[in-house]
Amino acid sequence: MTTPTQTDLNVKALEILRGDASKIEQLIAVQLEHLTLPKCPLYEEVMNMQMFGLSRQIDFAVRAGMINREQGQQIINDLERKLADLFSLIMP
Amino acid sequence: MTTPTQTDLNVKALEILRGDASKIEQLIAVQLEHLTLPKCPLYEEVMNMQMFGLSRQIDFAVRAGMINREQGQQIINDLERKLADLFSLIMP
């Protein structure tokens, strides 16, 4: 089994984390479509839990030396911006 | 910067994940010591959130090829057993 280079690791880690971020975005988008009251506690709890899980994965990837802190923060920022956009579509 | 071998990655990932698992164990042990009612919702919510975060880190490490699924499951099993031991100390 060949040894992955540092770049391979970085690319693979970012691919997984960005994939997970977009899954969270889709999960929230679907919930928003079906929820009459987007402010209902359950919905927020799901989002917080998913964001917490993603942040723990990113923190691990940084500590394991697979990505740097800025790359990780970028993934979180992008997702938060997309979620804010989703929210603004349905908030009067 | 030298490229980490597959073993280096495996060792580093396991070190981080086992370290996180023992932090969760200590967190719960401290809570149990100070909590009169270990069954109180907040306590369980903290434990569930921490376990969820650790499982997401382990899942990421497996998908990134740093550890195998069995190693990850072993970390979760060990922690659950230790938490069960802690619980049995205070449950009548």
Separation of alpha carbons A83 and A18, rounded Å: 14
Query: Among residues of chain B, what percentage have pLDDT more than 90?
Result: 53
Q: How far B69 CA sits from the closest chain A CA (Å)?
A: 16
Please judge whether B16 and A57 are an interchain contact, meaning their C-beta atoms are less than 8 angstroms apart.
Answer: no
Please judge whether A57 and B54 are an interchain contact, meaning their C-beta atoms are less than 8 angstroms apart.
Answer: no
The first and second tokens of residue B11, run together, are: 């060792």
CA atoms within a 13 Å half-sphere pointing along the CA-CB vector of A92: 2
Token pair 């929230």 is found at A28
Please judge whether A4 and B65 are an interchain contact, meaning their C-beta atoms are less than 8 angstroms apart.
Answer: yes
* Ranges of residues in chain A whose predicted pLDDT is under 70: 1-3, 35-41, 92
Q: Which residues of A touch B59 (CB under 8 A)?
A: 57
Separation of alpha carbons A77 and B49, rounded Å: 22
C-alpha triplet B48, B89, B41: angle, nearest 5°? 30
Question: Where are the domains positioned within chain A?
Answer: 6-90
The dotted CATH code for A6-90 is 1.10.287.750
Tell which phi-psi region holds residue B65, choosing left (phi > 0), alpha (psi between -120 and 50) or beta.
Answer: left
The interface pTM score, or ipTM, of the predicted complex is 0.84
